[in-house]
Structure 1
Amino acid sequence: MSQRAGRYIKEVFGVQGDPDLWEDRRKRLALRKYGGLKSDIEAELNQDETDDCPSPSTKGFFAKTVWDQVKLGRITPFGSRTKDPSKAESSYDISHSINDSIDTGGNFNIQLHDINPLPIERHYQRTKFARVVSRTRRTIDETDDFRPYFTYWITATQFIIMVISICLYGIGNFDVTLYERVGLVLTESLTLDQVNVAEPGNIWFGPRPADLIHLGATFSPCMRVDESIMEEIAKDRKNEKANSGCCIRNDNSGCVQTTRDACSTLLSTFHSWTDGEGPEGRIYGPVCGQDPRFCVSPSSTAAHIWPDDISRWPICHKASRTDIGHPPHMTCELIGRPCCVGIHGKCEIRTEEYCRWVRGTFHLEANLCSQVSCLQDVCGMLPFIKSNKPDQIYRVMSSLFIHAGIIHFLITLCVHLYSMRDLEKMCGPTRMAVIYFGSGIVGNLASAMFVPFRAESGPSPSLFGLLACHIVEIMQAWSYLRRPGLALLKFSVITFLLIVIGFAPWIDNYGHIFGFISGFFLSLAFLPYTAFKLNLHRRVASVVSGVVVYILMLVVLLVVFYVIPFFDCELCRYLSCIPLTSDFCSVQNINLKKDKGIIL
């Protein structure tokens, strides 16, 4: 078993195997994608393929599919396919030519001059016959190439996920600027207020920003503890603990947890425990709809007494049923509960109607913002191991399967079918998967580090890794190619166009750059080198250097991302998105505006 594994690893890294077979695969890739081979190299390749064709005596594939068809009259040596053999024989007498063309050794040796087609049809028939031979030879060639299973699998998986995401979340606003919705919404003051909701559009014709994050897009606040966001959350909780109380309407129409400044002195009464006025000398509270004295589960008794700090109170799952003797903050109708809005973990006490209007997450089970984790609501996927401590590092992988929209997926599909499929035919699905995911992970990690507050989705870093592989292939096959400079220019133009696309929202050029670099070194390690049969030590050095550089890149990015992170770079934003309009690169958040642009 260990010997088999060792042979497999050596074959994957290209230090073991048939070098001539790899060289032929590389030449066929050059024929398909790099503008063809030099005339002498192409003639040598065609001669090798002709020598490999089986003779008619062996009933080989080539003889069976071409020359047996000729004998049956279904095709003519220079002509087209016909259903009536008699028609072909009326114009050609080919039986003696074929028999004379098979020597005593059983080898096929037909000559073009042995058969005399009609003069009028000669040019057309010769073209048709050459096409049959070329198609048959290409079929034989492909038996030596790998099947592009990984290309088809990853493309089909991405398509299915895109369809499911659109069915579940729908399509957001197709716009290059902020989209505003205006409506009258019932607020916690029990009045209908005009609320303007501004959120960025999606130029890729896909889901909204929050939905992409929920699906698994790369988003730094979901992958690590972001100090700036955590400071804001801690600040809000401290304010809720020190300054909030229960604001009860004088007409008994309802109550809401808020601060004294936000509670109307004319229409409501603000209840607050100060200077030890609360039960058991508590100074923080009260909380509308929740009191440790009237909660059955979990009860505040013995070793499980609820602390004075209301930000540490648990959610009361079951309260005492009777209202006799309960204080006003326990008998009033609660009209506001925690509502998570935006994508940065912001929590506000709002009505359910308001929360739905801004497309937030309404927590009917909670009474305080400190009892919910808005970041968990934003991120979705698997729950955090520790509450309010994001740890979804696997987003660097999951985002490779998610696209920002239909247009984004079509670009990926074109690159897969044009660039990735033929490359996989040469190197195989295992190597292709390693390069694809390896470059994608490094690119997404760099994107999360340099542009932490923007969600990025799609396999763009992996696509740049593929382009790097093609450039490495062109460099390695430079002496074979007919016009290597033109081939290099073609893929350089494709790379440039994709970088230009990276200046648009939802796609990041940092991921492109690091995906290209990592794909370059992975291709040096995993793409078989045609000259390793002449210099094995050089091939081993190439493998080791490529793997070591890739691992160093990954480790450095992880250390910077977690240990010594920097959270915001003003200049770094312009490499990720160029603000063509004032709102083109707006922060991917939901901004709530009321009256004359007041931010709530």
Structure 2
Amino acid sequence: MRSRDMERGRKHRGDTQWTAWLTPTIVVANVSIFIVVMYTNDCPKTTTGANGDCVAKLLRRFSFQPLRENPFLGPSSSTLEKLGALDWKKVVQGNEKWRLITAMWLHAGIIHLVMNMFDVIIFGIRLEQQFGFIRIGLIYLISGFGGSILSALFLQKSISVGASGALLGLMGAMLSELLTNWTIYKSKLCALLSFLFIIAINLAIGLLPWVDNFAHIGGLLTGFCLGFILLMQPQSGWEEFRNSSQYGARARSKYNPCQYVLFFVAAVLVVAGLTVGLVMLFDGENGNKHCKWCHRLDCYPTSKWSC
């Protein structure tokens, strides 16, 4: 339903469809980095056997850590930390700010990688075909960065990796794109409810003890705001007015007032949010001290697990 609406909107405005190459490149890069991480990990050589034997020993140095240590079928936490995982102490006290970027290219295991890359392909290609690689690349990187900032502010006793912040940023951008370009789509309510359902599922998964939901939330909020800034499209009927011999290009505004307001508010929120987050982070602030209940957003204890 959503893709057909996009196609109608494209044809209605006479736009051409972009060729999606950045999204596949992102997927290839993440898979390649995971292979390098597993090669570096070398489970048979580094695992002592205290937590069990390596999984899939036939893969030799590419075999996975024992399931008791890593249920996602991946490397050890020490390998991830060495190769760029998000670690509050190293970012703030060790001045290794680059980890805010590198963490979004690492994954805890092959299950983590496949789930994220599957969603990146679904959402990334659709957005890139409609808006081009520059805008989608910016949303992906900035959203991942925003997710890393929020994660570092609240998770200061563990490491974090994954493209989840960037992925949720793409989802958030698709949601805001639907809202800001509301007039050009049909089946609006159905598309809106579908997006909200998918986002809710991802945030619910983030309540599991092994998933960084703060990266989800930070990426989602950042991408949602960026969608209002980077994915704004001319209102319905503007193309006809511009091309009509009876009307001039100025006969109708390209964007409606609501789009301009959302653009301005979102721009202020993105700049202010990232700036305040970075200042708090490098001042050594602990987000949990300012929000006593926020830890529940990352992990909700049940009878089957504790946080």
> Which TM class, normalised by the smaller chain length?
0.7 to 0.9
* Map 1:359-398 → 2, pairs under 5 A: 390-398=94-102
1:181–1:432 CA distance, 2 compared to 1 (3 A): closer
Deviation at 1:459, TM superposition (A): 1.1
Query: Which one-letter code corresponds to 1:221 in the other structure?
Result: K
Q: Is the 8 A contact 1:35 1:487 kept in 2?
A: no
SS at match of 1:521: helix
Alpha-carbon shift at residue 457 of structure 1 (Å):
0.6
Is the Cα contact below 8 Å between 2:207 and 2:300 reproduced in 1? Answer: yes
Aligned to 1:157: 29
Output one character per residue of 1:132-160: Cα deviation in whole Å (capped at 9) or x when no partner. Answer: xxxxxxxxx8xx21122220111110010
Is 2:93 the partner of 1:221?
no
Q: In the alignment, which residue of structure 2 is the partner of 1:574?
A: 296
Higher share of residues assigned helix: 2
1:415 shift after superposition:
0.9
1:437 Cα deviation after fit: 0.8
Query: Hey, what does 1:459 align to over in structure 2?
Result: 163
Query: Cα 1:460–1:181, aligned 2, differ >3 Å: closer, same or farther?
Result: closer
C-alpha deviation, 1:506, in angstroms: 4.3
Counterpart check, 1:209 vs 2:81: no
Write the deviation string for residues 254-305 of structure 1: whole angstroms up to 9, x where unpaired.
xxxxxxxxxxxxxxxxxxxxxxxxxxxxxxxxxxxxxxxxxxxxxxxxxxxx
Which position in structure 2 is the counterpart of 1:56?
A: none
Label 1:412 to 1:181 Cα distance change in 2 as closer, same or farther (>3 A). closer
1:527 corresponds to which residue? 231
CA drift of 1:444 comes to 0.8
User: Is the alpha carbon distance of 1:456 and 1:35 closer, same or farther for their aligned partners in structure 2, counting shifts above 3 Å?
Assistant: same
Deviation at 1:535, TM superposition (A): 4.6
Q: Decide which of 276, 279, 282 is 1:556's aligned counterpart.
A: 276
Q: Which runs of 5+ in 1 are unaligned?
A: 1-29, 50-140, 173-178, 183-197, 226-389, 586-600
Counterpart amino acid of residue 573 in structure 1: H
Name the aligned partner's letter for residue 552 of structure 1: A
1:169 matched to 2:41: yes
Change (3 A) 1:432 1:36: closer
- Deviations 1:312-358 (Å, cap 9, x if unpaired)? xxxxxxxxxxxxxxxxxxxxxxxxxxxxxxxxxxxxxxxxxxxxxxx
2:3 aligned with 1:32: yes
Letter in 2 for 1:522: L
Cα distance in 2 for residues equivalent to 1:425 and 1:35: 10
1:180–1:199 Cα contact (<8 Å) kept: no
Identity of aligned residues (%): 24
Aligned to 1:364: none
CA contact (8 A) 1:427 1:528 kept: no
Q: Is the 8 A contact 1:525 1:543 kept in 2?
A: yes
TM-superposed CA distance for 1:551, in Å, is 1.1
CA distance 1:201–1:34, change in 2 (3 Å): farther
**1 CA distance for matches of 2:170 and 2:288?**
30
- Does the 8 Å contact 1:472/1:523 carry over to 2? yes
Alpha-carbon displacement from aligned partner over 1:70-98 (angstroms, at most 9, x marks no partner): xxxxxxxxxxxxxxxxxxxxxxxxxxxxx
Please tell me the residue identity of whatever aligns with 2:117: L
Q: 1:513 and 1:530, CA in 2 relative to 1: closer, same or farther beyond 3 A? A: same
TM-score by length of 2: 0.77
- Structure 1 residue 579, shift from structure 2 partner: 3.9
Q: 1:199 to 1:568 in 2, by over 3 A?
A: farther
Q: For 2:67 and 2:3, how far apart are their aligned partners in 1?
A: 46
Amino acid at match of 1:508: D
C-alpha separation in 2, matches of 1:492 and 1:171:
40
Distance 2:4 2:123 in 1: 8
Q: Which of the residues 565, 579, 582 maps onto 2:285?
A: 565
Change (3 A) 1:424 1:392: same
Pair 541,480 (structure 1): closer, same or farther in 2 beyond 3 Å: closer
Matches within 5 A, 1:140-539: 144-170=16-42, 181=51, 201-225=69-93, 390-531=94-235, 534-535=253-254, 538=257
Corresponding residue number in structure 2 for 1:74: none
CA distance in 2, matches of 1:567, 1:476: 31
Give the match's secondary structure for 1:223. helix
**1:436 and 1:424 mapped to 2: Cα distance?**
11
CA distance in 1, matches of 2:203, 2:26: 22
Aligned partner of 1:553: which letter? G
Q: What are structure 2's unaligned runs of at least 5 residues?
A: 53-65, 239-251
Contact between 1:218 and 1:457, CA under 8 Å: does it hold in 2?
yes
Quote the Cα distance in structure 1 between the aligned partners of 2:39 and 2:143: 30
Cα deviation, residue 403, structure 1: 0.8
Q: Deviations over 1:95-126 (max 9, x none)?
A: xxxxxxxxxxxxxxxxxxxxxxxxxxxxxxxx
Contact 1:468 1:516 in 2 (8 A): yes
CA contact (8 A) 1:222 1:392 kept: yes
* Distance (Å, rounded) in 2 between the aligned partners of 1:527 and 1:220: 33
**Alignment-derived partner of residue 55 in structure 2:** none
Q: What's 1:64 paired with?
A: none
Deviation, 1:442, is 1.0
How many residue pairs get aligned? The number is: 272
Distance across 2 between alignment mates of 1:568 and 1:524: 29
Pairwise CA distance, 1:224? 0.9
More strand by share: 1
Check conservation: 1:36, 1:483, Cα contact below 8 A.
no
User: Offset of 1:483 from its aligned partner?
Assistant: 2.1
